Each structure stands twice: as structure tokens, then as C-alpha cells.
Amino acid sequence: MPQDKLETRIKAKAAELGFASVGIARADAAPHTAARLREWLADGAHGSMIWMEERAHHRESPAGLWPEVRTVISLGVSYAPKDDPLKLANVGDVGRISVYAQGADYHDVVKRQLKGLARWMVAEAPCDLKVFVDTAPVMEKPLAEAAGLGWQGKHTNLVSRAHGSWLFLGAIYTTLDLTPDAAGRDTCGSCDACQQACPTDAFPKPYRLDARRCISYLTIEHKGPIPEEFRAAMGNRIYGCDDCLAACPWNKFAAAASANMAFHPRAELTAPALADLLDLDDAGFRQVFAGSPIKRIGRERMVRNAAIAAGNSGEDALVPALQRLATDASETVAEAARWGLTQLAKHAKK
């Protein structure tokens, strides 16, 4: 019997290592990426994410980062939630953390899986390769679409027919010449559920996100005070936002991801009490969020977010914690706490 093609063996090994989806694309298979990225940056829609523009030349194409690359292998790991991601929307005394951040840090988990596949590939077919998970200047979403994992939906995230909007993406760049898969086909149609779900109108048009209005950007990437126009809409979201993802009808085909225990929600991150978050010092923050992607935002941004959520909560029991924080060493935290106190005072008068 002839041996299976290398492409078939790569996909089988990827599945064995826990990848839910895998596809292959030529390195030049997403030619419109560069122009779209330049237009997005020119509009300033990346906000304060300066690294996006500083390494734009690397992001514009795989060859811009590594000239020797011939093929891109795109891989997805499902983190589809078991429970409704929006179930805590009206629970005032807890904070809402985006589904992807309630378990272990996906950067570490997915990179280990990618390195396992990379070692196997080098043994099977000696080649040069590089592995990437999110932190490198790689445009994972258009590459994943080119490789057939799905398509970039109107919320700009990847949508999979099998996994909905719940995929962590990784990529392997290689010098191998592999047979590409058919690209994903956009089947959003006339649906605009994700656009309508956004609490801050962060989509100026379909397939375009203005990060400056996005709660995920504001709570995670943005440093300093959050613009007041978005604070009420944040509700009790303290890290990220799942609204546009959760609204996607394709999620009904996504089975809850149970294979990888690393992504199962940690009990303390599923519904953290705002009172506990407001009480965090630096050491406490590091202890609570060790091993979580949340750790990278630091105590200041987390407590800032919690103070805004407290202001939106209507919970008078949080007043003493906000009063303590109103003179916090961080003016960003102190300002958010004072805003929270003002909001609770308004609520008390109703």
C-alpha cells in the first residue's frame, strides 16, 4: 500500500495533537490582506495598538515576515463554551470575563501543540518552519480563511461551519511545497446579528471593526482612562466581550469543547465578585490570574475595569471599596472609582 500523502498525514497528526481544524494555503494566498490592513491603519481604527503599524510590513504577507516561506498551515483549537456566554449580563455584583480567558493561557497551550506538530513534520519531511500564536505579526484570520478553516465574518473574526466563532488560531510557516486546500467561502449572507449585538457600535460597516469603540480593546489593550461615552455600555464586562461572537447563528453547530481540559473555565474566573476584584493589590492580582491570559493587563487595568463595572452595578454594597480606591496610587484607578461612586449615587436617588 502506498503511504498517504504528506498533507493527509499532517492533518491526521494535527487531529491527534488536539487541533479541531487544519488547512493548507500557499504563502501568497491572501493577496488583499496588505491593502485592507493599510486602509484600517490609515483610519486609525487600531487605536493605541502601535505595534500594529510598527510591524505592518511584516503583517502584510507571510513573505514579509519570512521570505523563505512557501506554505502556511493554519490550525484551530476549539474553545466553544458549554454555557451561554451572556448568562451573567444582568448580574450586578460579578464581573464578566470573555470565554477565551476563563481557562489557561491559550498562547502557551496552543504553542505547545504547534511545536509538537512542528517536530513531527521535521522528522517526516526535513524542512525549515516557524510556529506562531497571536503574539507575532501574523494575520491569522485571512490566512485561516485562505486555508479553508472558515471565513472572516462581519464581526471580523473567523467563522467556522463546524465550530462557529470559537476557535483559537495558530499558524505554521514552512518551506515545504504542499498542496493547498480550497479557501473558505463567506456564508454570512444578509445576517447582521453580530453587528446588531455590539453594545458600543464598534462596526462602522460589515467586515470592519473600529477597535477604539470595542469593549475588548478598551478593557484589555487600552491604557489609561476609558472614554466616558463607553462606560455605561460596558455593563459588568471586565475583560473582553463575547457579544458579537455569541450572536453568530453558526454557533449552533459548535459542540462544547471538552477535549482540552486546559480551556475548561476556572471556577474563580467564571463569575468573579466585583468586591474581590476591587480589593486586589499587585500581589493579589498576580496570584489570582497566574496562568491566565488576563495576567498581561496588570492590576491597574483590571481594577479600573472593575470600578466601572461597580459603577454600573447599582450595588450600594460596593461603595466602601470604591471610596478606598478613589485615592488609589494609580490615578487611572482612582478616576474610575470616583466615576463609579458618582454613578452609584445617581442610582440611589432614583
**Catalytic sites, residue numbers:** 134
Helices (H), 2-136: 6-16, 33-42, 50-54, 56-59, 62-65, 106-124
Quote the CA–CA distance of 72 and 245 in Å, as a whole number: 26
Question: Distance from CA of residue 29 to its chain's centroid?
Answer: 24
Residues 6 or more apart whose Cβ sits within 8 Å of residue 243? 86, 197, 198, 199, 215
Quote the CA–CA distance of 324 and 268 in Å, as a whole number: 23
Order of all β-strands in the sheet with 71-78: 21-26, 71-78, 167-174, 129-132
Q: Is 139:64 a contact under the CB 8 Å cutoff?
A: no
Q: How many CB atoms lie within 10 A of CB 68?
A: 13
Quote the CA–CA distance of 333 and 326 in Å, as a whole number: 7
Closest Cα to residue 115, out of 134, 101, 129?
A: 129
Quote the CA–CA distance of 321 and 306 in Å, as a whole number: 11
Quote the CA–CA distance of 71 and 148 in Å, as a whole number: 14
Residues 6 or more apart whose Cβ sits within 8 Å of residue 69? 27, 62, 63, 130, 173, 174, 175
